[in-house]
Chains A and B, each alone.
Chain A
Amino acid sequence: MLQRLPHLLGIETLTSEQITFFLDQSKPFQEFQRHPLKKLATLRGRTVALAFFEPSTRTRISFSTAASRLGADTMQLQAESSSLKKGESLIDTVRTLEAMRPDSIVMRHSSSGAPAFVAERLGVPVVNAGDGTHEHPTQALLDALTIRDRKGTLEGWNITILGDILHSRVARSNIFLLSKFGARITLCGPAMWLPREVESLAPGLRRTSRTEEALEGADVVMVLRVQTERIHEPALAVEDYILGYQLTAKRLQLARPDALVMHPGPMIRGLEIDPSVADGPQSCVLEQVTNGLAVRMALLYHLVSGAAADAPHPTKE
């Protein structure tokens, strides 16, 4: 029997068995998304704190919907209203949250390692919803679920990740995850966002700055978000990015005919991806969103129910 996870801080330290377990556990929740009545009472009376220290719409809504469909309440802390602006330290902010007795804290933060820092200090399960340029584990899980659903298995595909690899937490988590399942991963992007050290993230990674070469024979193409703030400094001309790295229909033809196109969103059409590809039959973008709900429900259920078993809830006699 697999051990219950106390937190989900990253993919790197998970085993392939643990990952498979989560993907399997997401299955019932995928079916659940098709129910007419999308509300469970499973986590009724439980509270999930959503501590987003960095602005986020998609991931926050996904987690908050996942929690509410499980019947849990949410407490939301958002960057704009955050007391951090008033100079409060992270640890004081999360201790304040903890004092309101949430059953789990879902956290996004611009500092790599911030969820690990919090998890070390609090007695509540912590979910990393994206930390700096480190990891975004639930994104990698939902991507894996999408690949497994579409292709029947997760094992052994040619995966191409396209974009700003250096600064992408999505890329890191996906590299960690897919390499545990024998994927042949090709990383592609402008050279300064693709330093030699990326090869140390997992064995057998291939690195190229030539998009055409990277796409050849790909079973899955993951397009990363281009963070425009990085385009301004250190300057890379937008026109150059489009010319060299936009996933166009023509380029996609170099991949296998049944190759999947994935994007973690938010997507800038016409920058990193051509609209016809984003909306094309190979695109899984919307499935990724739906699967995100299933993965996050499975995860919250696992962490909160497990923690409840460890320490009976005070309201339960």
Chain B
Amino acid sequence: MLLIKNGRLLDPASKTDAALDVLLDGERIAKVGAHLSAPGADLFDAKGLIVAPGFIDLHCHLREPGQEMSETIETGTRAAARGGFTAVCCMPNTQPVNDSASVTRGIVERAAAAGSVRVWPIGAASMGSKGEALAEIAAMKAAGIVAVSDDGKPVATARLMRQVMDYCNALDLPVMDHCEDPSLFAGGVMREGAQSMRLGLAGIPAQSESICAGRDVEIAGLTGARLHIAHMSTRGALEYVRAAKKQGLRVTSEVTPHHFTLTDEDVRYDTHYKMNPPLASREDRDALIAGLADGSVDAIATDHAPHHPASKDVEFDRAPFGITGFETAVALGLSELVHPGKVSLMRLVELFTTGPARVLGLERKIAPGEPADLTIFSDTHEWTFRAAESASKSHNTPFDGRAFRGAPMATIVAGRIAFRR
């Protein structure tokens, strides 16, 4: 038994924000109340800290199987725990692609053996994510996937998307799409605009994302399926999501910490500023923050994309896209959204808990009988992030050396402390 005392409990599901203690019994929450006592229980003093439901990351890359030089399920989930996440959804673009039940089972088994947090795999929508035939989605669902996606690229055609959505609708799985029009993307390496012009880097227009988001929303309307727009970075895509929600379509979206923190103006000849979708314009960034605040955006997802140092230590246009994100996500949410007053603390917790849970068709709350997954964080703790001290195998982040106010202090998964600062 573990008793978490003296904390400020924030539970979006019940709109609770009060000084309450939580008693965990094994893998479940036993009791929630004021001034609890449990003789014989281990004690966690959460004085000055915030106790929240376990944070969920809808979008990450754990690189196993196949790219263990960059990350493994063991190192990736350790980094996730340090970032306050109790569950992470890993994208299927591994080697081989997670397009079959056997790969899914491998991930699930590996996570059970070596994972610090829960790992919820996402299966490929098409075989090999090649955009041709459908993957064995039902078999993967039986093996444990929570959604499908061809992440890294969009579901190739509107027709395929229609099939995937129809099929997944019947299976009650959300379809997550990486929105991008390949012909407009055209070898670009950053957002098209004044900065890409100045740096002489090939630009990707914002419409590359919004055109594809528009297509997806149309097909969600056609099929009635659950559509989730991954790592949304533009106002154009956000407007499609807003309109879809207004129509009552089951369309959700996520935004990454780097897209609400940085803009294309921050891009330099440093491959730690190269990600896909690329850092957007200031107008887009501000629109995304408004969307996070008003509920148009459902979740903050890291798109944790580790790359081995040698692969990033190259010319900008030859580097792979992506940055790590687990260990800076919560701190960026606090520093960029909560402290400046753009998003309330309760809303931020929603974006990490009930929001992503709803995308997956789950609930997330602190109540007796619920899984003992909790994230305990501070909104005042001052610290500096050092990529070299990260648990991830890769250190490709633009936030190395950044000072923060607020940090995850402990991550409790199934009643067990997976990380404690």
Contacts and interface: CB of A to CB of B under 8 A. Distances in A.
B316 A195 contact: no
Given A89-B310, A91-B313, A113 B196 contact: no
Interface string A111-123: 1111011000000
B315 A109 contact: yes
Contacts, number: 61
Contacts of A277: none
Interface of B: 192-194, 196-203, 269, 310, 313-318
B193 A197 contact: yes
A135 interface: yes
Contact of A89 (B194, B201, B269, B314): B314
A90 interface: yes
Interface in A100-115: 109, 111-114
Contacts of B193: 197
9 contacts: A89-B313, A112-B199, A112-B200, A114-B315, A131-B200, A133-B201, A134-B200, A134-B201, A197-B193
Nearest to B193: A197
Nearest to A176: B198
For the complex, would chain A's binding face be called helix, strand, loop or mixed by DSSP majority? mixed
Given A89-B314, A112-B317, A131-B200, 6 more contacts: A89-B313, A116-B269, A117-B269, A134-B201, A135-B200, A195-B197
A198 B197 contact: yes
B309 to A, nearest CB: 11
A198 B316 CA distance: 21
B199 A134 contact: yes
A119 to B, nearest CB: 10
A159 to B, nearest CB: 18
A79 to B, nearest CB: 14
A197 B269 contact: no
A98 B263 CA distance: 35
A137 B196 CA distance: 18
Contact of B315 (A111, A133, A198, A201): A111
Contact of B317 (A111, A169, A172): A111
Contact of A201 (B198, B314, B316, B318): B198
Interface in A26-58: none
Nearest to A198: B197
Interface residues on A, range: 20 to 34
A241 to B, nearest CB: 21
A6 interface: no
A113 B315 CA distance: 7
A200 interface: yes
Contact of B316 (A12, A112, A135, A166): A112
A111 B316 contact: yes
A91 B318 CA distance: 12
Contacts of A197: 192-194, 196-197, 203
Q: Pick the most buried of B196, B203, B310, B317: most chain A CB atoms within 10 A of its CB.
A: B317
Contacts of A201: 197-198
A117 B192 CA distance: 21
A132 interface: yes
Interface in A183-216: 195, 197-198, 200-201
A111 B198 contact: no
B284 to A, nearest CB: 15
Nearest to A167: B200
A200 B269 contact: no
A175 B315 CA distance: 24
Given A89-B313, A197-B192, A111 B318 contact: yes
A260 to B, nearest CB: 26
A49 B283 CA distance: 44
A119 B394 CA distance: 24
Contacts of B203: 197
B314 A90 contact: yes
Contacts of B318: 90, 111
A198 B200 CA distance: 11
A132 B200 contact: yes
Contact of B200 (A90, A172, A195, A200): A172
A135 B310 CA distance: 26
Contacts of A113: 199-201, 269, 315-316
Given A89-B310, A197-B192, A132 B197 contact: no
Contacts of B313: 89, 91
Contacts of B200: 112-113, 131-135, 169, 172
Given A89-B310, A197-B192, A117 B197 contact: no
Contacts of A135: 200
Interface in A60-112: 89-91, 109, 111-112
A114 B193 CA distance: 20
A200 B197 contact: yes
A140 to B, nearest CB: 14
- Of A89, A113, A198, A201, chain B has the most CB atoms within 10 Å of the CB of A113
Contacts of A89: 310, 313-314
A306 B310 CA distance: 32
A132 B203 CA distance: 13
Contact of A200 (B198, B201, B310, B316): B198
